[in-house]
Structure 1
Amino acid sequence: MRGMTTDYHPPVKRSVEIAGHKTSISLEPLFWDMLRTAAAEEGVPVNALVARIDVERIAADTPPGLAGAVRLWLASRAFTAR
């Protein structure tokens, strides 16, 4: 258990703003924690990081959904940090 977050918790829906438009993303608390940490390490707000991930996602040949793209981006970041 990491603080108040357990590894096995259903997704939590939160609102984010991308390019002036509000949308919601459902992520497990572990991924929300990882996203906040990544944003802090990069010195940007969570919304800005999600917007950047969204631009990369849309450029893909077969773009995943936004929540999936966030999870994949975080997993890729964790994997390359090894």
Structure 2
Amino acid sequence: METVGYSPPVKRSVLIAGHPTSISLEPIFWQALEIAARDAAMPINALVAQIDEARMTVPEPPNLTSAIRQWLFGRALGG
């Protein structure tokens, strides 16, 4: 069984609709987000904007960081 390197969150700024937004994610999630953006042939900012837009369609939207983690986990599960 491979172990994961546990690390505290790292804060980065992304642009969503031209507005800077600060997001804190653990390095493993930043890496997964970079891979997902590369696979989709889009900048991270654009992918985060898509996730942000999708989260706002549910009755009780989670915060953006939580939505990103859930989206990445769903992607890892093949969904």
TM bracket, shorter-chain basis:
over 0.9
Match of 2:45 in 1: 47
> How far apart are the structure 2 equivalents of 1:35 and 1:62?
23
TM-score normalised by the chain length of structure 1: 0.89
Which consecutive unaligned segments of at least 5 residues does structure 2 have?
none
Runs of 4+ aligned residues of structure 1 deviating over 6 Å after TM superposition are none
TM-score normalised by the chain length of structure 2: 0.93
- Residues 13-22 or 72-81, more deviating: 72-81
Q: How many residues align?
A: 78
Which consecutive unaligned segments of at least 5 residues does structure 1 have?
none
Match of 1:34 in 2: 32
Q: CA RMSD in A?
A: 1.6
Amino acid at match of 2:11: K
> How far apart are the structure 2 equivalents of 1:65 and 1:7?
25
3-state SS of 2:38 partner: helix
